[in-house]
Each structure stands twice: as C-alpha cells, then as structure tokens.
Amino acid sequence: MTRNAVEFRKSSEKSSLDGKQQGLLAKAVGIYLGKRDSGRKRFRDWEGARRQAEAIKTEALENLDMYLSRFIEKVKERGGTVFCAEDESSARDYIANLAVERGVKSVVKSKSMTTEEIHLNGALENKGIKVLETDLGEFIVQLLGQTPYHIVFPAVHLSKGEVSDLFHEKLGSEKTDDIEGLTMIAREHLRKEYCKADMGISGANFAVAETGMISITENEGNARLTMGLPKIHVAVVGIEKILPRMADLALFLQVLPTMGTGHWMSCYNTLVGGPRAKDEIDGPEEFHVVLLDNGRSKLLADKESREALRCIRCGGCLNVCPVYQTVGGHSYGTVYPGPIGAVLTPLLRGLKQWGHLSYASSLCEACTEICPVRIGLHKRLLSNRRNYADKYGPLAEKLGFKVFAFVSRRPLLWRMAGALASAGQFLYPLVGWFPGNPVKGWTKGRTLPHITWKSFRNMWADRGGKSI
C-alpha cells in the first residue's frame, strides 16, 4: 500500500467515528436534498436537460482544440492575456511572477477549486504577498488553516460555535451564536480588503469559446467584487471548462445551481471578457486567463474515461455518496473528494499514488444517477479499479483470483473445494490471526459467515432432482 492509501485508511477510520462532523454534514445535506428535488421539478423535463448538457459538453471536448483556439483568440482580441500552463507549477510561477512584477501586495480570491489544485496561496505567500479568500466558507477554512471540506460547501463540517470562536480569536470579534451576525463580521472585514487589493484571482465555471468570456456562478457577490475592483484580474481555468456558444449558458446556468445548491439560479452569474473596455467606467486594467492542463490532455486521450472531463463541479455526487457522508471531505487527502474525486484524482494525478480512492465506493450508483452531465461515475470507478489491479494489484490477490477462475471452471474441483471449505471453516479462528491471511481486512469488523454443510447440489440430489 502507498503512503497515501495508508493515510486515507487511517483518516477515514477516524472520521467515520466522528459523529459531530457527520451530524453537521447530514443536516446540511438534508436541507440541500429538499431544495434540489424541488429545483429539479421546476424543469419541464429534467432528464432531457441532462442529456442536452451531456451532448454539449461532449461536443466541446471532442473538438477541444478548435474551441480552445477560438476562445484564446477572442480573449486576446478583447485585450486579455492568455497563458497555457502544462502543469501546476508553471501556473503557479506565472501568477506569482506576474504579482511580483506588478508590485502586488495583497490579493483577494474568489472561490476556485482550480487554484486549490495548483496550491496557489502558498506560492504567493512565499513571495510575501497577502492572500485572502473571500467566499465566506473559504474564508473560514483559510483562517483555520484547513482545506475545503466540500467543493461547494467548504465549511460544512463546522458549527456556528466553532466559527464564532475562530472569528473571536483571529478577528477579535465578540462571540455570538447568531449566524447572521457572524456573516456580517466577515462582510465588514472583507469589504475593506477588496478596496485595498491590487489583484483579484478567480476561477471560472465556464469558458465561452464563441465570445472569449469566462462565466462565474456565485451567491455572495465576492466574485463580482474580486473581478471588479482590483487593477489586475487573473482567472485560472481548467481547459475542460469550454462551452461552444454563449447561448449554451441558458441551459448550464440553470442546471449547475439546481444540482449544486438546489437554487434554480445562483444569485450572480457574471460573464467577464477582458479588462475594462475603453467606454467603461471601471474594471481592471489587466485581464489574464491561465488555462490549466495539469493532466487533463492526457485524460482526454483516454477514450474510455474522458467523459470525466464533462464534470461541471456541482458537488451533487458528494451529497448522495454514502462513503463521502461517512468518511468526510478531508479523509480523501485530495482537492476533489467524493465520487468525482475518486474518479478524477487517479486519472489526473496518477493511478499508482491515488488508485486506492477508486475503491472508496459501494458502487451504489447514486452518483451516476444524479450527475447532471451524465458521467458514468461508477463505471469509471470500476475501470480505474481494473487498471489499478492490472498494474499495481498485489501478487497474492492476482494469484488468488487466478486460482478461483481455474477452480470455478472445473465442476469437480469446485465441489471438492466447497466440501473442503465447509469442513475446514472451524479451523479459521485458529489461523485467522496469521499475518498473511488475505481475508483479515474483511473479517476484522465482521463475523465470517457460516458455510452450509449441505450444498445446493446435494439438496437437489436428495430430493431426486436430476443432475446436469
């Protein structure tokens, strides 16, 4: 087992006993599910809308070179700058160098999983630049020195009491159990920071090829302030975010929040293309788009699994996943947790180091059933497992299955093995503790089921059934 796998196992064991965290998560998910279901009912045909979303994302991916080059051309036409980063370090370096060159002292950020993926905050802080997350949930986890627990609800694992203690300690505010009061403390604190910041960094939910614009979906207004007030705006955009046409947003701006938060429309959906135009009053002087590959083009070459690139990061699969609900968002040790994280992380960051995550699923298919872009998540978990077992599976396991296949194809051997197992099962407690025991992990928390004395075949024969 790799170190990541050992860590994952340890930390999920611990979290699965953390009733407090599970309670907070269950409460949040309960509220979310109610809203999501009534949101879906607003659609005249939700299933049809999912199929359209799938078709448009697939069209974009299968023509990605064409659409990306159109997007890049349009951004440049509108006075923006484009940098294509092959990996996370080149993306980090580009942004950090830009900030240093422009003499940036403080940065405000709006919620972006892509910037989490490239570990941007640390790189900027190393250059002596102050970085402030502005989304309320992100602001809270940043103050705590944690990473987001969920891709849509970053602070879902924290209670209002914990937030109040945190604000008291870090911001010097009075303790309160009033959630509105806590929100206002963050608002007042951050308002000043927007006005002072020299650079705003955002992600993007969509990138429109036709017009060279990014589209950002949010509820708080922090992204609009981040993109509107500082003199430089940098957007970090995964290359899979491309949509062919602007009008496609009429579909996606409603599908995304329905699955993401249960709202039919998020509060602010902003299309940004370029810096302030000549005839405009305000806006940044510079607009930089950093297009991030970081393993995505390699995944695109994998025809079987490329569908995972359709993901619009709604977080819907996390909210229905029994494994995520039990082990929580931090156990995965990755930027993207839950089913989509268990699919994407091995594909983007390497099967060897992250393949174990694809086993963190009961294969109940709840994720596949709700995915708004119809990614076959459970199928991808299975194909990841297959590839992992082929390449890195333990020898004993491979041998075991070879023996099983050999025996199960030979009826006589199969019968003998069955008889041997039922006679020998009482010896198990005597040998079960043995270090090399392959079923030890399974029997640790469970009792080995009793193997019947009499097989079906014997009972059949006893009742005079014919043997084939």
Partner 1 sequence: MKDGVESLLSRIKTALGNDPRREPAERNYRDLMPPAGGSGEDRIELFAKNVTALSGAFMSFGSLDEAVERLKKMAIDMKWKKVACHGQGNAFKAAQSLGLEVLNTDGGYAKLDLENCDAGITECDALVAQTGSVLVTARNAGGRGLSVLPPHHVVLAESSQLVSDLSEAFEVLENKYGSNYSSSMSFITGPSRTADIEQQLVLGAHGPKKLTILMF
Q: Which of residues 134-153 bind partner 1 (CB under 8 A)?
A: 134-137, 140, 153
For partner 1, the binding residue among 4, 12, 36, 72 (CB under 8 A) is: 72
Site for partner 1 in 11-40 (CB under 8 A): 24, 27-28, 31-32
The partner residues of 236 in beta bridges, in order of sequence, read 290
Contact between 189 and partner 1 by CB under 8 A: the answer reads: no
Binds partner 1 by CB under 8 A, chosen from 254, 331, 345, 361: 254
275, 328, 338, 376: which one binds partner 1 (CB under 8 A): 275
Q: Residue 8 or residue 153: which is nearer to partner 1 going by CB?
A: 153
Query: Rule CB under 8 A: which of 91-130 touch partner 1?
Result: 94, 97
Residues 179 and 23: their CA atoms lie apart, in Å, by 18
CB closer to partner 1, 112 vs 134 = 134
Contact with partner 1 (CB under 8 A) among 104, 243, 253, 318: 253
* By CB under 8 A, residue 283 contacts partner 1: yes
Q: How many CB atoms lie within 10 A of CB 102?
A: 14
Using the minimum distance from each CB to partner 1, give the nearer residue, 274 or 333.
Answer: 274
Between residue 212 and residue 251, which ones bind partner 1 under the rule CB under 8 A?
Answer: 213, 219-222, 224-225, 227-229, 239, 244, 246-251
Which residues does 84 contact at the CB level (< 8 Å), separation at least 6? 72, 290, 291, 293
69 lies in the site for partner 1, by CB under 8 A: yes
The nearer residue to partner 1, 295 or 361, going by C-beta atoms, is 295
Q: What is the DSSP string of 39-50?
A: HHHHSS-HHHHH
Q: Which is nearer to partner 1, 174 or 280 (CB)?
A: 280
Q: Can you tell me the distance from the alpha carbon of 132 to that of 121, in angstroms, rounded to the nearest whole number? A: 9
Kindly determine how many residues on this chain lie close enough to bind partner 1 according to the rule CB under 8 A.
Answer: 107
Please list every residue from 399 through 418 that binds partner 1, using CB under 8 A: none
Of 31, 36, 55, 58, nearest to 254 by C-alpha is: 36
Q: Which stretch binds partner 1 (CB under 8 A): 179-187, 348-356, 385-393, 453-461?
A: 179-187
Helices (H), 240-394: 249-260, 296-301, 316-320, 322-327, 338-349, 351-354, 366-370, 377-392
49-54's contacts with Cβ under 8 Å and 24+ in sequence apart are 49/251, 49/254, 49/255, 49/372, 50/255, 50/371, 50/372, 50/373, 50/374, 51/374, 52/251, 53/251, 53/252, 53/255, 53/312, 53/372, 53/373, 53/374, 54/310, 54/373, 54/374
CB nearer to partner 1: pick between 8 and 206: 206
Given the complex with partner 1, which of 12 and 338 has the nearer CB atom? 338
Q: Which is nearer to partner 1, 148 or 337 (CB)?
A: 148
Map the footprint of partner 1 across residues 194-213, applying CB under 8 A: 194-195, 211, 213
Compute the distance between CA of residue 214 and CA of residue 114 in angstroms, rounded to an integer: 14
Residue placing its CB nearer to partner 1 in the complex, 27 or 391: 27
Cβ neighbours of residue 423 closer than 8 Å, sequence gap 6 or more:
none
Q: Which residue from 175, 298, 352, 440 is in contact with partner 1, where contact means CB under 8 A?
A: 298
Q: Please report how close the Cβ of residue 304 comes to partner 1 at its closest, in angstroms.
A: 13
Scanning 116-124, 276-284, 332-340, 456-464 for contacts with partner 1 by CB under 8 A, the matching segment is: 276-284
Q: What's the length of the chain?
A: 468
Q: Considering the complex, what minimum distance in angstroms separates the CB of residue 262 from partner 1?
A: 10
Q: Which of residues 302-361 bind partner 1 (CB under 8 A)?
A: none
Give the residue with the Cβ less far from partner 1, 8 or 149.
Answer: 149
Name which of 85 and 123 has its Cβ closer to partner 1: 85
Nearest CA among 206, 203, 209, 204 for reference residue 64: 209
**Please, what is the minimum distance in Å from the beta carbon of residue 385 to partner 1?**
23
Name the H helices within 63-135: 64-77, 88-101, 113-117, 120-126
Q: CB of 145: closest distance to partner 1 in angstroms?
A: 18
Q: How far is the CB of 247 from partner 1 (least distance, A)?
A: 4
Cα separation, 114 vs 237, whole angstroms: 7
Q: Identify the three-state secondary structure at position 85.
A: strand
* Binding status of residue 272 toward partner 1 by CB under 8 A: yes
How does 384-395 read in b/e, with b if 16+ C-beta sit within 10 Å?
bbebbeeeeeee
Q: Rounded to whole angstroms, how far apart are CA atoms 291 and 238?
A: 6
Longest CA pairwise span in the chain (Å): 93
